[in-house]
Amino acid sequence: MRRAAHGWGAAGLASIGLLAAAATLRCSGDVDNHATGGASGSGGGATDATVEAEADAAPDSGETDWEPLEPLGENGEYFPEGPVAPQLDCHPWCKAVIPIEIDHPGYYTYSFDSSRIADGDLRSLYLTDLSTGTARLVAKSMNAKEGVIQPHVHGRYLSYHRSEYPRGQIEVIDLIEKRRRVVHTYVASDSGSGTVAYTAVNATHAFFITTGALWSADLQTGAKRKITPYIIGCDRHCTTDALFICSTTTQIVTADPVTGALEVLGPSKALQTDGVCSADKRFFTWVDFRDPPGPASTYDGTRTGGEVYLYDLLTKDLKRVTHDSPDHPKAKTFPAVEGKTVVWRQMASTLDQNPEWAQDIYMADGALWRHDLDTGKTCYSDTLNIGSPALIGGKFYAKRVNDPNGTGGSWIIEVDLDHPAIPWTCTQ
C-alpha cells in the first residue's frame, strides 16, 4: 500500500481491497461505506465462483433514461457557485482550486480536462473552471450516510458514484442539457462483492469496474457491455473520445467500449505504473520498467529504476523520455504531460536515487522533475514534493496532503511552475 510521507507527499494514492477501503470509510464519519477499488478488484471474501457469476450477471433494474436535473441552488440554479477557495499557506506559487477540503482517500482522486477540475469531500462534488477560478456545485448527497464520490469529467458529461451502503448507483450528468441518467445500480453483498470500484465517462459511454470486470454503458441507449473477461483494477484511469485507459498495478490497458477490444501499451511482461492522460487526451505517459529490469520489478516489491514513456494516442508513436537505465537507474513515479512538457516525481536529490523497495520510493521525500521535449532541458526542484500531478494550461495540479506549516487538511492545488520563487536546478 502506498502512503504519503508528509507535507507535500504523494497523496496516499493507494489501491486497496474493497473491504479494507470500506473499513477506512466507516471510521471517517457519517458516510457509512463507499465502494472503492482495489488493485486486484477482489471483494475480500468473495470466491472465484462468486466473482465469475457477478461478472456475467444481468444488469440491475434501477437504471433510468435521461431525466431532468434537479436544481441544486437555493434560488433554482442548477449548478450554484460554491465558496471561494481559501488562501493556503503553501508558498507564493500555490493556491487551492477546489473550495473545500478533500476529505477522502487518495485513490478516489480528482478528474480534469483541459480547462476544469472536479473533486469533492464525499458529500459534495465541485467542478472548477480554471480560467475563472469559479467552483460550481454539481452533485451532493441527500443525507448524512450517502456519499457522492469519484467524479470524472469529459466534455459535456460528468459521471460519479452515489452510494449508501449496501446500495449504490452510477450517475451521469449532461452539463449542457442539464439532465441526468442512472446507468448502473447494485446491492453489495456482505463480503463487499458487487460494489463498483471505479467510474468514468467519455463522449459516448460510461464505464465502471465491478468486482468481476470492466463494463461500459451506452449513454444514449443504456445498453451495457462487459468488456474484460477477467478481474481488473485501475490504479489510475482516464478516457478519450474513443477509449477507456486503465493504468493497472502492472500494465497500461486500453479498452474500446464499442468493439470490446483490449490492447496493452507495451511488452506484456514489463511492469508499467502510474499512467495518466494529458488534459487534452492526446498523450498518455507512465513509468516503464522494460529496460532494465523489466519483469524483475514489481508494483509493491523490489524496484530498479523505471523510465518515463510517452505515447501519442493519435499517431500511436511511442517515445522514451528519460534514459537513466541501465547505467544509472533512478526511481520515478507519477509522470504528467502537456504539449512539449513532461514532469514526474523522483527521489529528493539528497537521497538514494534507486531504493530497493517500492514502499521506500513512494514514502520518501521527492523532487519534481521537468523536461522540455523540444530543447532537452531537464530541471528539478526538491521544494515540490508532490505526487499524482496534472499539467493544464502551463500550471501544475495535485493533491496537497496535511501541510504542517499551513492550514492542514488536504486540498487540490495549483502550482505556477514558472514562478520566480521556485528554486530549480537544471542538469542540461
As a whole number of Å, the CA-based R_g of the chain is 20
Please tell me the predicted confidence (pLDDT) of residue 61. Answer: 52
- Distance, in Å, from the CA atom of 328 to the CA atom of 306, rounded to the nearest integer, reads 11
Give the separation between CA 261 and CA 228, rounded to whole angstroms.
Answer: 9
- List, in order, residues 6 or more apart from 95 with CB less than 8 Å away: 85, 87, 88, 413, 414
DSSP code of 192? S
All residues at 6 or more sequence positions from 25 whose CB lies less than 8 Å from its CB, including other chains? 31, 32, 33, 34, 36, 105, 147
Give the neighbor-by-neighbor strand order of the sheet with 205-210: 196-201, 205-210, 214-218, 224-226
Q: Which pLDDT does position 103 carry in this prediction?
A: 76
Which helix (H) or strand (E) is 201 found in, with range? strand 196-201
Give the C-alpha separation, 317 to 299, whole Å: 26
Q: Specify the DSSP element, H or E, that contains 390.
A: strand 390-392
Q: In this structure, what is the dihedral angle of CA atoms 299, 36, 158, 123, given to the nearest 10 degrees?
A: -130
| Residue 410 CB partners (closer than 8 Å, separation 6+) | 11, 101, 102, 103, 399, 400, 401, 402
At a CB cut-off of 8 Å and minimum separation 6, what does 35 contact? 18, 21, 22, 161, 163, 165, 168, 188, 192, 195, 196, 197
Backbone angles phi, psi at 64, to 5 degrees: -130, 165
Beta strands in 289-357 (DSSP E): 307-312, 318-320, 332-338, 341-347
Cell triple for residue 201? 465517462
What is the per-residue pLDDT for 294? 62
Query: How wide is the angle at C-alpha 22 spanned by C-alphas 20 and 24, nearest 5°?
Result: 70
In Å, what is the CA distance from 127 to each residue of 192, 281, 313? 30, 18, 26
Count CB neighbours of 99 within 10 A.
23
* Cβ atoms 252, 216 nearer than 8 A: no
Q: Please, which residues bridge with residue 164 across strands?
A: 167
Here the cell at position 220 is 444514449
Which H or E element spans position 152?
strand 147-154
| pLDDT value of position 128 | 97
At 407 the pLDDT is 54
Rounded to whole angstroms, what are the CA distances from 32 to 12, 46, 135, 184?
Answer: 21, 21, 27, 20
- The pLDDT of residue 389: 85
Closest CA to 109 of 124, 98, 120, 95: 120
Residue 144: closest CA among 165, 113, 127: 165
CATH of 18-426, one of 2.130.10.10, 3.40.50.170, 3.40.50.261, 3.40.50.2300: 2.130.10.10
**First CA to last CA across the chain, in angstroms?**
35
The span from the CA of 264 to the CA of 245, in Å, is 10
pLDDT of residue 64: 82
Q: What is the pLDDT of residue 420?
A: 93
Grid look-up 473550495 returns 99
- Which residues of the chain fall below pLDDT 70? 1-62, 106-107, 192, 292-295, 401-408
Identify the pLDDT of residue 408.
59
Residue 426 has a pLDDT of 95
Q: What is the chain's length?
A: 428
Residue 193 phi/psi, 5° resolution?
A: -70, 150
Q: How far apart are CA 381 and CA 91, in angstroms?
A: 14
